Amino acid sequence: MNWVRAIAGVLVLWSSTAWGATLTWNANSDTDLAGYRVYQCSKTPCTKTSGTASPVATLGKVTSFNIGTPAVTTYYFTTAYDFANNESNSSSYVTFTAAGSPPPPTLEAVSLTVVGNPATGPWGVSATTTNTQDVMANVFLDGKFHHVENLAPYSFPGDNGTTVTTALFGNGTHTVEFVFYLQNTTTEIGRHSVTVTEGSTSTSTSTSTLPKVSLTVVGNPATGPWGVSATTTNTQDVMAKVFLDGVLHHVENLAPYSFPGDNGTTLTPGLFGKGWHTVQFVFYLQNTTTEIGRASVIVLQGT
C-alpha cells in the first residue's frame, strides 16, 4: 500500500434528517486496497496513537459511513487497509457536535519557558496559562504521555512545589507539550509545545538561536474557507513540512509557505470539517533534516 496517499481527506456532511450525519472521504487509488476503518474519540487529540480512539466500523471499498446522531460531541477519523491487513496512518479528524451542545471554549494562551541549559546540562520546561480557573495539564515528551500536572508550578519533568526540577533525557532533539484542561474534565483550554536540543554537537542548534517562525490565519474560519501563511526570519534556502491535526499534509519548498496551498503568489484557502484544527509548520534547511524553527496555530472552523 502507498501510505503517502492512504487517505487524502475527510469531510462531515451534516444531515437534518433522522438518519443523522454521514462521514465521507476521498477514495484511495492503491491497487491492493481492501477497504477503510472508521474510529471515534471522546476527546482530542484523536489519532491511532493518541490512546483515545476506538474502532467503529471496518468497511469495504466505500467512501462514506453514517454515524447516526451521537448524544455528545464526538471526533472521527479514518484509515485505509490492504489485503495483508496493513493499515495507513490516521486521516485528519472531524467533529460531530450534538444538537444543544455548548460551543467549544475559547482557548487560553499557554506559554512555555525552557529552564536550565540543554546544551551543557540538565534542563526542564515551565508552563503557564492565562486561564484563572482550576486547571490541570497532561504533559508529553516526544509525543508520549509523561505525567499529569494538577497544581502550579506546571513543570516538566517535575517540580519541588516551588520551582522546576531539571534532568537529562538523551542527546538530540526533544519536544515537550503541555495540554491544559479544566480540572477533572476533558474540556481543553489550551496547549503549546517547545522543541529543545539536548547536548552540543556540530550539527545541532540550540533552541535559543532558532529563527523565528510566524503563522497568520487567512480568511474567516467561522464563516468560510481559511488557510495559514507562514514566514521565517531565516534567510537561507529552507523548506517546511506542514501538518494538519498531527498528520503530514504536504512539503513547502518555496515561498509563500502556505496551508493548504498557494498559487505561487498568494495562499489558496479551503475547508477541513467543522471543529478545532491544528496546523503546524516545521522548517528545515533545504533537503536536510536540520530543523531551523517551528510554530503551530489552533483554528476553530465553523461557529
Is the CB of residue 203 less than 8 Å from the CB of residue 290?
Answer: yes
Residue 252's pLDDT band (cuts 50, 70, 90): very high
48 Cα distance to chain centroid: 13
For residue 222, being part of any structural domain is answered with yes
Dist. CA 246–CA 2, nearest whole Å: 19
Q: Is the domain of 88 the same as that of 172? A: no
Q: Look up the pTM and report it.
A: 0.39
Average pLDDT, integer, range 75-81: 85
Could you tell me the end-to-end alpha-carbon distance of the chain, in angstroms, rounded to an integer? Answer: 38
215 vs 103: CA distance, rounded Å: 25
The model's pLDDT over 105-125, given as tens digits with 9 standing for 90+, comes to: 555 678 888 999 888 889 999
Q: Is 131 among the domain residues?
A: yes
pLDDT over 60 at 203, yes or no: no
Least confident of 51-55, 197-201, 256-260: 197-201
CATH assignment of the domain containing 137: 2.60.40.10
Indicate if 78 and 121 belong to the same structural domain. Answer: no
pLDDT surpassing 50 at residue 161: yes
Structural domain range at position 36? 3-96
> Is the same domain home to 191 and 217?
no
* pLDDT over 70 (residue 10): no
Residue type (1 letter), 144: K
Residue type for 62, please? V
Rounded Cα distance between 175 and 201, Å, is 18
- 69 and 117 inside one domain: no
Which tops the pLDDT comparison, 267 or 65?
267
The conformation of residue 166, written as its DSSP 8-state character, comes to P
- Output the pLDDT for position 148: 93
Q: Cell match 522548517: residue?
A: 283
User: How many distinct structural domains can be found in the chain?
Assistant: 3
Residue 270's contacts (CB-CB under 8 Å, 6 or more residues apart) are 225, 226, 227, 260, 261
Domain-ending residue, one of 153, 173, 198: 198
Is the pLDDT at 204 greater than 60? The verdict is no
Residue 71 has pLDDT above 50, yes or no: yes
Whole-number Cα distances in Å, 1 to 34, 59, 92, 248: 10, 17, 19, 17
In a domain, 101, yes or no: no
**Mean pLDDT, the chain, whole residue set:** 81
Residue 76 lies in a domain: yes
Residue 103: inside a domain: no
Does residue 127 have a pLDDT over 80? Answer: yes
Quote the pLDDT of residue 202: 34
Mean pLDDT, residues 186-191 taken together: 81
CA proximity to 49, closest of 180, 142, 140, 143: 143
If asked whether residues 42 and 117 sit together in one domain, one would say no
Q: What pLDDT does residue 16 have?
A: 39
Q: Which pLDDT band holds residue 185 (cuts at 50, 70, 90)?
A: confident
- Please give the DSSP secondary-structure letter assigned to residue 123: E
User: Chain-centre distance of CA 189, in angstroms?
Assistant: 15
Q: What percent of the chain has pLDDT over 70?
A: 85
Q: Same structural domain for residues 217 and 290? A: yes
Asked whether the predicted pLDDT for residue 12 surpasses 60, the reply is no
pLDDT (tens digit, 9 = 90+) per residue, 85-110?
888 877 777 778 766 655 555 556 78
3-state secondary structure 19-42: CCEEEEECCCCCCCEEEEEEEEEC
**Same domain as 217, residue 295:** yes
The pLDDT, as a whole number, for residue 103 is 54
Asked if 292 and 210 touch (Cβ cutoff 8 Å), the reply is yes
Structural domain includes residue 205: no
